[in-house]
Amino acid sequence: MRGMTMPKAVLFDLDGVLVKSEEAWFRAVAQSGVKFRSGKAVSRKEFAPTFGQGTETDIAVFGLQCSREELDAFYEIEFLRHLGTVWVNPDAQPLLADLRAKGIKTALVTNTVSRIARALVEKAEVLTLLDVLATADRVKKSKPAPDLVELALKELEVGPGEAWFVGDTRYDRNAAEAANVKFVGMGIDGDTRIERLAELLA
C-alpha cells in the first residue's frame, strides 16, 4: 500500500470488514432490552449510533440491569438465532489466503465474544486463515481500549510497528492509535484509507 511498508501481520476487525451482521446484532440488542430493561426493547433509533461498541457500553447506554457476563451469555444465544441475516464480504477469503501465501500473519480483533466470532468467521470461511482470535471475552476492556490489539500483537509475536489494523469504526481507529499500530480505515480515514478489502494489497 502506498506510503506504508508491508507488515509482518495484519489485524482485522470483524463486523463491517469481514462480514456485516448489523441486522442480526440489532435483533439481539433489541431483545436485550426486553429481558434486561423491564420489557422495553431497544429501538433502531437507539441502536444505530452505538453499533460496534462493547457489551459493557451497551449496559450503560441502554440502561440494562445485568452484568457484562449475563449480557454476553444472552447475546451468544440470541445473536446466533439470526446468523442467516449476516452478509459475508466476498473479498475476505481470497485476501486472507493471499496474506497467508505471502507469509503475513493475521488476527481477528473484535468486540464480539468468542462463540459468536467463531460462528461468523466460519460462515465467512476464514477461520483456518486466522492465526489469532482476539475476542472481547479474553480481555478486561473492549475497543476503543487497546487491550484487544495488544493481545493480538502478543500472540502473533510482533511489535506495534510491524502490524496494520484494518477497521471501519472510530472504536477501531482509537484502539489502533492507543496501541501505536498503523490504522487502515475501511470507508473511514486512518493512516491510510481503502473502500474495499481487496484494495489492501494493491
SS3 (DSSP) at 187? coil
| Distance of alpha carbon 47 from alpha carbon 57, whole angstroms | 12
Answer yes or no: do 100 and 35 share one domain: no
The closest alpha carbon to 200, from 61, 80, 106, belongs to 106
Answer yes or no: do 132 and 60 share one domain: no
Answer yes or no: is 60 within a domain: yes
pLDDT at 3: 59
The C-alpha cell that represents 67 in the structure block: 452484568
| Distance of alpha carbon 100 from alpha carbon 111, whole angstroms | 24
> Sign of torsion, CA 49 127 74 173?
negative
Answer yes or no: is 1 within a domain: no
Within the chain, where are the H helices?
A: 22-36, 44-47, 55-62, 68-80, 92-101, 114-123, 147-156, 170-178
SS3 (DSSP) at 134? strand
> Sign of torsion, CA 15 78 66 62?
positive
| Distance of alpha carbon 127 from alpha carbon 77, whole angstroms | 20
For the chain, the helix, strand and coil percentages under 3-state DSSP, each to the nearest 5:
50, 15, 35
The C-alpha cell that represents 30 in the structure block: 433489541
By residue range, what is the domain housing residue 187?
A: 9-20+87-199
Answer yes or no: do 141 and 188 share one domain: yes
Q: How far is CA 173 from CA 16, 110, 163, in A?
A: 13, 13, 14
What's the first-to-final CA gap in the chain, in angstroms? 6
pLDDT at 35: 97
* pTM score, whole prediction: 0.89
In terms of DSSP bridges, do strands 19-20 and 87-88 run parallel, antiparallel, or are they unpaired?
A: antiparallel
Q: How many domains does the chain have?
A: 2
Answer yes or no: do 52 and 62 share one domain: yes
Residues of the chain with pLDDT under 50: none
Answer yes or no: do 79 and 159 share one domain: no
Answer yes or no: is 55 within a domain: yes
In terms of DSSP bridges, do strands 132-134 and 87-88 run parallel, antiparallel, or are they unpaired?
A: unpaired
pLDDT one-digit tens code per residue, 157-187: 999 999 999 999 999 999 999 999 999 999 9
Which residue pairs, CB below 8 angstroms and at least 24 apart, start in 98-103? 98/201, 99/10, 99/129, 99/201, 100/129
